[in-house]
Structure 1
């Protein structure tokens, strides 16, 4: 968290993350170029650049789309999620190099604007095998560009979390466009089943991980016993110290934290990027989001000064060692007395 905007809030972990990412990019490009030159010595430099950066962008995009569900299934992946923005911007840069070189190579020598040529040089929109696949790639690149330039908390704050999140969920539209771009483009000319298999493996992995993660979330949505407006959640012992149990009541996710012989409940949705507060823990007396470290006081859902983020809070009772929650939320930042745990 920061009280003012900076281009990048560098720390030791972010620097290490970016060095590892840079190393991965360089090693991949070196291997791809070396293997391609050995297998096809007659390949042109332009084609080599286009294919190397295009394939790297697709690989990075698959990794990015897997990080979310993997982090929900296993907290060991949270460190990768923490700096996912840098991964996303890097992926866009690789895709941009691929796209720019493709436009220069195939559309810059004509009589019309190269961008217009992407859509008009091939007009077989009615054909599957001859479809102008470059149009899909261009539209995907536009989406990735919008995501890359708004990958900063300045835009998150000024666009509002809801609008910002909606924009960045467009990554799934971009992914679909890229898959169509590849299927209707380069794979039309490949005879080896390896390329189809790799693309199919990537798509299957993403879909499977999202389904498994979604199934895990669905199992949390089953609190039912209701007495005088309060819903029985679980026994006190089921919640780990300084951790939370997440439930869904009236279509809202609630994080119920146990700490210092007390129980408090707040919204499970972080104001920063809608991160899952209930998957974090209490550090220095504050509920800490596992995604980017945003913090909230458990008894009022407010970030400690000078920060201004607030989430809704919920009434909690402990009766006979059972935790009960009223699903009616109080206004963001409302102070509520924590329920005392009596041994």
Structure 2
């Protein structure tokens, strides 16, 4: 959270996160460039320029795979939540690594073309009507454009300017980029390289992303809503609540509500953080404030407002306890509306 925009809001955690990321990238490139040539088992030595391009391409794919695994891993096991904190820096670094891969390709294959390298790349193969020999390069170009766009709009200025819902939808392009990269690899290097290492890296990575997303979806799928005759939605039994934590329920309109127990009283706010739609209900109350597990944005559970001087707000909801269960009114109050907490029945916890 910040009251003004600066290029990077550095803190020790970000330095630590980025330092580990840079060391990991350097280690991956070193292993690929100096350890794997013999392990790959090529019949003929590969030109250093091509090997460099493959090293950065494989690194970009691996980084993109890790980025897409962080989200479902954090939902499956909260111990992975710290990896979400600086994921945007991870994405920006991935865009730079992918651009380096593209630079090596253009410099080696098209540097001496009579046309510009980019024009030569786009016009070298136009066999779009067939699978064998399909111009896989265009898939790589598309993925690089997506990654560049996402890196360029990763700053909170664009999040505020575009609004969180639009920004979030824009950044779903990461999935299109990943699909394009998979196609780029399958129709490209995997057509010629039969080494088990390359196949394990790319096919195994893509399979891991799919499996983790399916597992996270299965775990997070909404349970059937219990809707009372009055229209209120049942959240959970009173003895299911823990102090400082929330129970999340899905409303008939598809929105989710997080009902927190704080100092023996219940309060409900929207589950989507005003910053990046992070799941507030998966966070906890710290210093009397609901703290988003993604980036630490905080809200007063009683009114959905961030503490001064911050201005973020989320909708609040009415809560009631009836028949040993907690219910929430599905009609949202305007963001920042104060709602009196409801005491939990004695002996419920």
In structure 2, the CA distance between the partners of 1:43 and 1:194, relative to structure 1 (3 Å rule), is closer
Instruction: Report the more deviating stretch, 198-207 or 263-272.
Output: 198-207
Cα distance between partner residues in 1 of 2:23 and 2:10 = 18
- Contact map agreement 2:238 2:345 (CA 8 A) in 1: no
Q: Does 1:125 align with 2:128?
A: yes
Paired position in structure 2 for 1:61: 64
- Contact map agreement 1:232 1:323 (CA 8 A) in 2: yes
What is the TM-score with the length of structure 2 in the denominator?
Answer: 0.94
Shift of 1:108: 2.4
Q: How many equivalent pairs are there?
A: 342
Instruction: Report the more deviating stretch, 166-175 or 43-52.
Output: 43-52
Instruction: Report the more deviating stretch, 255-264 or 34-43.
Output: 34-43
Paired position in structure 2 for 1:303: 306
Paired position in structure 1 for 2:236: 234
C-alpha distance after superposition, 1:195-218 (max 9, x if no partner): 233322112111111111111121
Cα distance between partner residues in 2 of 1:226 and 1:319 = 11
Q: Does 1:14 align with 2:14?
A: yes
- Contact map agreement 1:314 1:336 (CA 8 A) in 2: yes
Q: Name stretches of at least 5 consecutive residues in structure 1 with no aligned partner.
A: none
Decide which of 329, 332, 337 is 2:332's aligned counterpart. 329
Cα distance between partner residues in 2 of 1:122 and 1:325 = 59
Q: Does 1:106 align with 2:97?
A: no
* Root mean square deviation of aligned Cα: 1.5
- Contact map agreement 1:266 1:301 (CA 8 A) in 2: yes
C-alpha distance after superposition, 1:67-114 (max 9, x if no partner): 000001100000111111111111111101001111121122112222
Shift of 1:320: 4.6
C-alpha distance after superposition, 1:30-68 (max 9, x if no partner): 111112454568332211210111100000110000000
Cα distance between partner residues in 2 of 1:25 and 1:280 = 30
Q: Name stretches of at least 5 consecutive residues in structure 2 with no aligned partner.
A: none
Paired position in structure 2 for 1:31: 31
Shift of 1:164: 0.9
In structure 2, the CA distance between the partners of 1:73 and 1:37, relative to structure 1 (3 Å rule), is closer
Q: Does 1:341 align with 2:344?
A: yes
In structure 2, the CA distance between the partners of 1:134 and 1:203, relative to structure 1 (3 Å rule), is same
Paired position in structure 2 for 1:191: 194
